[in-house]
């Protein structure tokens, strides 16, 4: 079978690999019908070795597909089911999973990465492949409802496993709800997902902050009531002006550099909330000043990796009800064998690219 593999910084390949096999009784094999390349995959592309990636590691943590085989202890999932997976597998039954923090599952890990692989025998396959082994399949996979269970809906369902649920998590953590004013910082795929999510959660006003006119237009189509282009406008002054000098109720922060976190706190009203889901802070020295600003305004900061498994069922219901179209994040859909080109397109932002989907067998 074919799979996308890591071979060192800047060296991504699609190659023949041994077929995926059931190794534990709680495993399933999923035949992938659509996969995504995530912004965090670009961190692997550049810093893979430093992050513990080893040559030959199969990449990808966003996928939808059809269950091909299940181990004897898998419950709730059957051969032939069309399923969506969160980017992290989990048993969905341990104390952390029961609390809705499946990303801290004691039997969990992240697909297509070296993170927490011990619980799955040290080998965690990736979704940018024709198929993969899914550990803890019964707790991880979610069956796609009949109305959405077809290849034509794959690009709508695929974002629920990571990018859309991550935007949603930030909006929830930012306290976005009915009648609130939300600021969404970032116009990448997660930022656009933040706009979609703020609308789903009932925000009255959604102020979308970015640097690309074309992406901000997509944000408007997805529900943003105001756009602020940081290239042309002073973001803080504009948002404060739009909010009578007080600031927004919540900020959905999808970049999370020291600079954007400070910006998010500054445009949030006293007593408001900032949901932080970007990963830029992993690659920067921590700065103390944002906490001082948050302290003086009693703004709550809530950074957190998204427990996507917790949100997928609700988001599937919203999708089935026609309340959103998260497929707007995809600007390219390539054959699986073109994955290296897909990484390049996203990394170099070729042709206004935002996010790339991959289709095995295309």
Sign for the pseudo-dihedral over CA of 129, 131, 132, 138: positive
Closest approach, Cβ 102 to Zn ion, in A, equals 6
Q: Which is nearer to Zn ion, 99 or 246 (CB)?
A: 99
What character string, x for contact with Zn ion (CB under 5 A) and - otherwise, covers 209-248?
----------------------------------------
Distance from C-alpha of 326 to C-alpha of 191, rounded to nearest angstrom:
11
Residue 91 binding Zn ion, by CB under 5 A: yes
Residue 37 binding Zn ion, by CB under 5 A: no
Closest approach, Cβ 91 to Zn ion, in A, equals 4
CB-CB contact of 11 with 57 (8 Å): no
Distance from C-alpha of 302 to C-alpha of 281, rounded to nearest angstrom:
14
Closest approach, Cβ 74 to Zn ion, in A, equals 15
Closest approach, Cβ 136 to Zn ion, in A, equals 8
Cα–Cα nearest to 34, from 335, 326, 325? 335
Distance from C-alpha of 267 to C-alpha of 274, rounded to nearest angstrom:
10
Residue 83 binding Zn ion, by CB under 5 A: no
Sign for the pseudo-dihedral over CA of 93, 95, 98, 102: negative
Stretch that binds Zn ion, among 10-18, 87-95, 170-178, 218-226 (CB under 5 A): 87-95
Restricting to residues 270-309, name those near Zn ion by CB under 5 A: none
Q: Which is nearer to Zn ion, 104 or 300 (CB)?
A: 104
Q: Which two tokens stand for residue 293?
A: 């600003």
Closest approach, Cβ 88 to Zn ion, in A, equals 10
Class of residue 333 by CB neighbours under 10 A (exposed 0-12, middle 13-18, buried 19+): middle
Q: Which two tokens stand for residue 95?
A: 């104390």
Q: Which is nearer to Zn ion, 27 or 91 (CB)?
A: 91
Name the DSSP letter for residue 249. E
Q: What is the number of the residue whose Cβ is closest to Zn ion?
A: 105
Stretch that binds Zn ion, among 41-49, 83-91, 237-245, 312-320 (CB under 5 A): 83-91
DSSP string, 260-279: HHHHHHHTEEEEEEEEE---
Closest approach, Cβ 111 to Zn ion, in A, equals 15
Residue 97 binding Zn ion, by CB under 5 A: yes
Crossing angle of helices 163-173/189-200, nearest 10°? 60
Q: Which is nearer to Zn ion, 102 or 180 (CB)?
A: 102
Q: Which is nearer to Zn ion, 117 or 159 (CB)?
A: 117
Distance from C-alpha of 65 to C-alpha of 10, rounded to nearest angstrom:
28
| Binder among 77, 105, 160, 206 for Zn ion (CB under 5 A) | 105
- Ordered alpha helix ranges (H), the chain: 39-47, 95-98, 137-140, 154-157, 163-173, 189-200, 213-222, 235-242, 258-266, 289-297, 308-320, 339-347
Residue 94 binding Zn ion, by CB under 5 A: yes
- Residue that has been written with the tokens 């029961």 in this structure: 98
Q: Which is nearer to Zn ion, 109 or 290 (CB)?
A: 109
Sign for the pseudo-dihedral over CA of 122, 123, 127, 128: positive
| Binder among 20, 26, 90, 166 for Zn ion (CB under 5 A) | 90
Stretch that binds Zn ion, among 102-110, 122-130, 158-166, 209-217 (CB under 5 A): 102-110
Q: Kindly state the number of chain residues that form the binding site for Zn ion, as judged by CB under 5 A.
A: 5
Q: What phi, psi does 17 have (nearest 5°)?
A: -130, 160
Q: Which is nearer to Zn ion, 21 or 98 (CB)?
A: 98
Instruction: List residues binding Zn ion (CB under 5 A).
Output: 90-91, 94, 97, 105
């Amino acid at each position: 079978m074919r799979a996308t593999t890591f071979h060192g910084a800047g060296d991504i390949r699609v190659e023949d690999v041994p077929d995926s096999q059931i190794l534990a009784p709680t495993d399933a094999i999923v035949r992938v019908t659509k996969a995504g390349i995530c912004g965090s995959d670009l961190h692997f592309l550049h810093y893979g070795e430093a992050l513990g990636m080893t040559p030959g590691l199969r990449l990808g943590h966003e996928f939808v597909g059809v269950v091909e085989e299940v181990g004897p202890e898998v419950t709730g999932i059957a051969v032939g089911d069309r399923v969506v997976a969160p980017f992290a597998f989990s048993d969905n039954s341990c104390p952390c999973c029961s609390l809705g923090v499946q990303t801290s599952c004691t039997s969990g890990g992240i697909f297509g990465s070296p993170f927490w692989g011990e619980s799955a025998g040290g080998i965690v396959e990736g979704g940018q492949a024709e198929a993969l082994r899914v550990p803890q399949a019964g707790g991880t996979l979610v069956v796609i409802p009949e109305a959405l269970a077809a290849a034509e809906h794959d690009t709508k369902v695929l974002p629920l496993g990571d990018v859309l649920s991550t935007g949603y998590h930030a909006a929830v953590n930012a306290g976005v709800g009915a009648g609130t004013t939300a600021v969404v910082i970032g116009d990448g795929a997660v930022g656009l997902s933040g706009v979609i999510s703020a609308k789903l959660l009932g925000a009255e006003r959604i102020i979308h902050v970015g640097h690309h006119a074309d992406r901000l237009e997509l944000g408007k189509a997805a529900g943003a009531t105001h756009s602020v282009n940081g290239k042309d406008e002073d973001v803080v002054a504009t948002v404060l002006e739009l909010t009578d000098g007080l600031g927004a109720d919540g900020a959905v922060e999808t970049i999370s550099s020291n600079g954007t976190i400070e910006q998010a706190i500054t445009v949030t009203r006293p007593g408001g909330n900032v949901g932080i889901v970007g990963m830029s802070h992993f690659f920067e020295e921590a700065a103390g000043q944002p906490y001082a600003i948050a302290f003086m305004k009693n703004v709550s900061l809530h950074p957190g990796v998204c427990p996507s498994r917790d949100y997928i069922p609700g988001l599937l219901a919203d999708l089935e009800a026609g309340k959103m179209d998260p497929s707007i994040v995809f600007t390219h859909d390539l054959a699986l064998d073109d994955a290296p080109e897909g990484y390049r397109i996203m990394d170099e932002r070729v042709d206004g690219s935002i996010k790339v989907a991959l289709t095995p067998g295309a």
